[in-house]
Chains A and B, each alone.
Chain A
Amino acid sequence: NAGVTQTPKFRVLKTGQSMTLLCAQDMNHEYMYWYRQDPGMGLRLIHYSVGEGTTAKGEVPDGYNVSRLKKQNFLLGLESAAPSQTSVYFCASSPSGGLRQFFGPGTRLTVL
């Protein structure tokens, strides 16, 4: 089992460009999450999903959109990237309930 995988690993964008980060999990988990990690800020929840076809906002959802069309995939979109979105993005998944989460390796995004 690959666990949680994230694509791409690194990306550099210019301000105003758009992109989609892909998260995939092969553990048949119901719950999936997108976090951003910034120095001194810990892990902040952007959006999450409690099942296929569902999404919900987390702490810092502005500027991001998500979709969960398939149970194993959770997409994070940036429609118009801003320098403030420079961060490391982590995806996580969890079986029923969000108390034990399995994280992916992260995507380092730089917005110039």
Chain B
Amino acid sequence: QQQVKQSPQSLIVQKGGISIINCAYENTAFDYFPWYQQFPGKGPALLIAIRPDVSEKKEGRFTISFNKSAKQFSLHIMDSQPGDSATYFCAAPRDGANNLFFGTGTRLTVIP
């Protein structure tokens, strides 16, 4: 069964620092790797996604890096802010492209 392994489980970063979250996947029939952001008491929301025709995608302070040969992708948050404190989930396609397999989540805390 398709699995996505996410690390670390929790992360504490000083304001202005770089937050890095990693994910590794097994096999997928479709190359598309999104990251979701979830604030306490809310549902997850799509943050950024990459299709591996590129090895990196950047949107503002958020960057996804993708290594197809290693089957790994990571989220980098530059200049981390207290407002970035949330739980982040990586995901990979399953059942073709009908749904997603989510990682176990990383709880990020950015200290002022």
Binding site for B on A (CB under 8 A): 4, 31, 33, 35, 40-45, 48, 50, 56, 58-59, 90, 92, 97-106
> Looking at the complex, which one of B32, B42, B98, B102 makes contact with A42 (CB distance below 8 Å)?
B102
> Looking at the complex, which one of B34, B41, B89, B99 makes contact with A58 (CB distance below 8 Å)?
B99
Please classify the interface of chain B as helix (H, G, I), strand (E, B), loop, or mixed, using the class held by over half of its residues. Answer: loop
Chain B, interface size: which category?
20 to 34
Binding site for A on B (CB under 8 A): 1, 6, 9, 30, 32, 34, 41-46, 49, 89, 93, 95, 97-105
Asked whether A42 and B103 contact (CB < 8 A) given A97-B97, A98-B97, the answer is: yes
Contact B49 A100 (CB under 8 A): yes
> Looking at the complex, which one of B6, B44, B99 makes contact with A45 (CB distance below 8 Å)?
B99
